[in-house]
């Protein structure tokens, strides 16, 4: 029961993040907002890291170092910037629908790169998700199409981030989020 409530709450928060980000973009540029969002996410992980004793040093083991660099660049730098540049050019409702393209990116990268097998129902879901994104893009005109491509790029970046995070040895997701948030957030905010 707690897991279901946590899932529903996270879905609600994810859903309202896009319109609130659109509002914040009236006073901040994309780099500043991406930086603040990721620094905030990193700092939110501090209590969990303290509780578990932390494992930050494990990220810098030789086999994890390349992965954490990829996580920071794809998941923390490029992903949020592409999202916020896309959000600046389109309305929040359209961007919220385009964020579902992460499912498409996950499926396609899974099949093409990681050799996953998808059943026919998954392919139907992927197709319908693409259709929803295309239909939404028509209502936005040329700026909508450009935004859709930017959001798709962000979704691909986050898929790479998710895969690299899953391959990171001996480190909790909270530690990865902390390091990614602080490092990428600081770089974006300073730029």
Report how far apart the first and last C-alpha atoms of the chain are (Å, whole number). Answer: 43
Q: Give the model confidence (pLDDT) of 25-46 as tens digits.
A: 888 898 999 999 899 999 998 8
Q: Is 79 left (phi over 0), alpha (psi -120 to 50) or beta?
A: alpha
3-state secondary structure (DSSP) of residue 128: helix
**Stronger pLDDT, 162 or 183, i.e. the higher one:** 183
pLDDT range class, residue 57, cuts 50, 70, 90: low
Q: What number is the average pLDDT over the span 1-20?
A: 80
Average pLDDT over all residues of the chain: 82
Dump strand ranges (E) for 11-144. none
**CA quadruple 182, 185, 92, 20: dihedral positive or negative?**
positive
- The answer to whether residue 13 scores a pLDDT higher than 70 is yes
Averaged pLDDT, 63-83: 90
Model pLDDT, residue 39: 93
Judged against a pLDDT cut of 80, whether residue 85 lies above it is answered with: yes
Percentage of the residues of the chain whose pLDDT score is greater than 90: 17
pLDDT in tens, 120-164: 888 888 888 888 777 776 766 666 778 878 888 998 898 888 888
What are the structure tokens assigned to 137, written together? 């893009």
Nearest-angstrom CA–CA distance, 18 and 29: 15
pLDDT at residue 19 is higher than 70: yes
Q: Quote the pLDDT of residue 143.
A: 65
Cα separation, 123 vs 52, in Å, equals 40
With contact defined as beta carbons under 8 Å apart, do 45 and 173 qualify? no
- The answer to whether the beta carbons of residues 79 and 126 sit under 8 Å apart is no
């Amino acid at each position: 029961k707690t897991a279901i409530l946590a899932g529903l709450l996270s879905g609600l928060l994810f859903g309202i993040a896009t319109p609130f980000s659109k509002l914040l973009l009236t006073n901040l540029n994309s780099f500043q907002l991406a930086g603040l969002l990721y620094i905030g996410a990193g700092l939110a992980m501090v209590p969990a890291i303290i509780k578990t004793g932390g494992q930050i040093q494990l990220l810098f083991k030789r086999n994890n170092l390349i992965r954490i660099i990829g996580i920071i660049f794809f998941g923390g730098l490029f992903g949020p910037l592409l999202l916020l540049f896309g959000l600046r050019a389109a309305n929040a409702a359209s961007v919220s629908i385009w964020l579902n393209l992460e499912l498409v990116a996950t499926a396609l990268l899974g099949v093409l790169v990681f050799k996953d097998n998808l059943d026919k129902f998954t392919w139907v879901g992927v197709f319908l998700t693409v259709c929803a994104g295309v239909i939404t893009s028509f209502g936005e005109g040329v700026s909508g199409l450009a935004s859709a491509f930017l959001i798709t790029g962000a979704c691909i970046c986050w898929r790479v981030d998710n895969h690299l995070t899953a391959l990171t040895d001996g480190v909790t997701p909270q530690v990865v989020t902390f390091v990614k948030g602080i490092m990428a957030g600081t770089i974006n905010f300073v730029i």
